[in-house]
Amino acid sequence: MPPVGVSPAQQAQNARRALGLGDVDPIRDVLRLIDEHPGAGIPVAVLPLPEGVAGAYGKKRGQGLAFVNSNDWPVRRRFTLAHEYGHHFLGHTTAIDEVSDVYGRPSTQRERDANSFASEFLIPGVGVRAWMSTRGATRPDLEAIVRLADWYGVSAWVALYALTRERFIRPAEREALEERLRAREHRVLRQELGLEGHGDALSEEQLPRGGRRMPSGLTEMALRAYRFGVVPADRAASYLGTDESQLGAELERRGLSLVEDDDREY
């Protein structure tokens, strides 16, 4: 468990240092970092999840597991993965994260903490300040938001939040910029600026929407996804190349059982 009195943002800074990241640098491939770095320690599955589910986190016998919905855009996948890693690093228990908890208004303090962790993990405050300083800017406009988002591989919304968090944007300015984001002006501007984004493992080039990227131990991951209720029985069976009727036997053979709703901690 994290030390008492240490904020989720501070924990995200600790996580970056533990993974050998600098205080300001972008994470060029967050999926491979979390899935493969021995200091992170959680396998990650990216696959189509039920509608309304952004991702999920599970833990059994101290082993964390993260799931990310591949139907989302790459910038959302990255934030979802950082959110799930936040659950892991902050010592949280099983979570099935709805879109509203990750990208809307989180319903619990635990979800708010995971979002705060994810934001600082992907786009650290000291990095935002350094990025603004190198450009001699004090009041960012829409272009600055789009360029900052592209540099860190996050959405324009996350970049706007980070700039607000670091007090570069006032409340009244934020409202006006939010209106422009809702009108999707940032997407047009991004194309005009010729920004290509990150070519990481979560990009559409490497993982098209709706695709699947499973870590080693595919069978174990698919069964655990089914066990935690992240994927339905027919989809889990298709991953394993077996019949739905065999899933119970597969779980039993591994000493596992289905996690009932009453057993989940939220």
Average pLDDT over residues 101-129: 95
Higher pLDDT, 213 or 152: 152
82-100: per-residue pLDDT in tens? 999 999 999 998 999 999 9
Q: Across the strands, what pairs with 59? A: 64
156-182: per-residue pLDDT in tens? 999 999 999 999 998 889 999 999 999
Residue 137 clears pLDDT 70, i.e. is over it: no
Average pLDDT over residues 193-216: 87
Shortest CA distance to 35 belongs to which of 85, 70, 75, 69? Answer: 85
Torsion angle, CA of 76/39/25/206, rounded to 10 degrees?
-40
Pairing, β 95-98 against β 44-47: unpaired
Backbone angles phi, psi at 29, to 5 degrees: -150, 85
Burial class (CB in 10 A: 0-12, 13-18, 19+), 208: exposed
Percent of the chain whose pLDDT exceeds 90: 62
208-227: per-residue pLDDT in tens? 999 888 775 566 677 788 88
DSSP letters of the chain? Answer: -PPTT--HHHHHHHHHHHTT--SS---S-HHHHHHH-TTT---EEEE---TTEEEEEEEETTEEEEEEETTS-HHHHHHHHHHHHHHHHTT---EEEEHHHHHS--SSHHHHHHHHHHHHHHS-HHHHHHHHHHTT-SS--HHHHHHHHHHHT--HHHHHHHHHHTTSS-HHHHHHHHHHHHTTHHHHHHHHHT-----STTSTTTS-TT--B--S-HHHHHHHHHHTTSS-HHHHHHHHTS-GGGHHHHHHHTT-----GGG---
Shortest CA distance to 174 belongs to which of 163, 186, 190? Answer: 163
Pairwise CA distance, residues 1 & 120, whole Å: 19
Q: Across the strands, what pairs with 213? A: 46
Q: What is the structure's pLDDT at 264?
A: 44
- How many CB atoms neighbour CB 192 within 10 A? 10
Q: Helices 74-89 and 109-122, interaxial angle, to 10°?
A: 120
Higher pLDDT, 117 or 261: 117
Q: What is the structure's pLDDT at 111?
A: 96
- Yes or no: say if 151 and 158 are a contact pair by the CB < 8 Å rule: no
21-66: per-residue pLDDT in tens? 999 999 999 999 998 888 887 899 999 999 999 999 998 777 889 9
235-263: per-residue pLDDT in tens? 887 766 677 888 888 778 777 766 654 44
- Yes or no: say if 89 and 15 are a contact pair by the CB < 8 Å rule: yes
Pairwise CA distance, residues 223 & 231, whole Å: 9
